[in-house]
Amino acid sequence: MRGGWAASLALVAAALLFGSTFLVVQDAVESVEPVPFLAVRFTIGTAALAPLALRRGGRDLRTPGMLRAAALAGLALTAGYVLQTVGLQYTTSSVSAFLTYLLVVFVPLIVALTTRHLPPWPTVGGVVLAVAGLALLGGGPEVGAGRGELLTLGCALAFAVHLLLLADAAPRLPVAALSAVQFAVVAGVLFVPGLLAGGYRLTGEAWAAAAYTGVVVTAGGLGLQAWGQRRVSPTRAALLLLIEPVSAAVLGFLAGERLGATGAAGALLILAGIVVSELAVPVARRPEEA
């Protein structure tokens, strides 16, 4: 299998794992504050990757540029999760999901502004199809301009910046060490706020959810994302990660939640956007897409 296709499949696998998060944690964390839960989740994720990061006597951690790149990625990831969590207090979950995944628009805009190159037209078409599908998948959420919407747009921008930081760092740094350090940054930044937001007396269900999301979704999913971004351009990586809401919707449907014709059409449009982008341009990263 060519490396480019393997990288794309890694991003698809990451998105599928991300999509499983909601179904796994929705009941477990009802009585737990989100900030302590996130701190525990990323601490577990750090511990899961520590053996790989520390192999070869920890030389990977001493790679030039490692700490700076991982710290920046960790801070962007922290900002995204915090803004999303606070924004959810002032808006609905469907609006939050729609605005969060507008990162698929922010990524090519930032790339175009910084490189002065537009993405290939098939990629632009894929983004348009995916955004339309995302709106339908969310049931056509009524988006306003309130505090929650603005905070969630900030979340989408933070996640877009995180994706772009990984696109720069992952091709030149050991992925396991990069991921472990950025997770440690998230856990460290959230530790004290977690104490102030209710502390770490989690229920058994919450600990189980934290273990799953820490090992499988954080260490596994975000690790696969970082590895996949070694060979896939940022814009197309963002498109591939839009499989996450499709995965979440399908898993919810299988668990008894209603999807409906509009939601199904939205999921198909998202997949169509990804297919248009993937089939119309070569898989490996091209200079004008970087």
- 141, 135 contact by CB (below 8 A): yes
Q: Which two tokens stand for residue 199?
A: 């502390």
Work out the angle between the directed axes of helices 103-115 and 121-137 (0-180°, nearest 10).
160
DSSP state, residue 218: I
Count CB neighbours of 203 within 10 A.
13
* Residues ≥6 apart with Cβ < 8 Å to 167: 229, 233, 234, 237, 290
Q: Helices then strands (H, E): number in the chain?
A: 13, 0
Q: Which of 280, 211, 185, 198 is nearest to 239 (CA)?
A: 280
Parse the chain into domains and list their residue ranges: 3-280
Q: Contact 88/147 with Cβ under 8 angstroms?
A: no
Q: What pTM was estimated for this model as a whole?
A: 0.85
pLDDT truncated to tens, each residue of the chain (290 aa)? 345 788 889 999 999 998 888 777 766 777 788 899 999 999 999 999 999 999 877 888 999 999 999 999 999 999 998 998 888 778 766 677 778 888 888 998 898 888 888 777 777 888 888 888 888 876 665 555 678 789 989 999 999 999 999 999 999 999 999 999 999 999 999 999 999 988 898 888 889 999 999 999 999 999 999 999 998 888 888 888 988 888 877 777 776 767 677 778 888 888 888 888 766 555 444 433 43
Q: Residue 222's Cα: distance from chain center in Å? A: 7
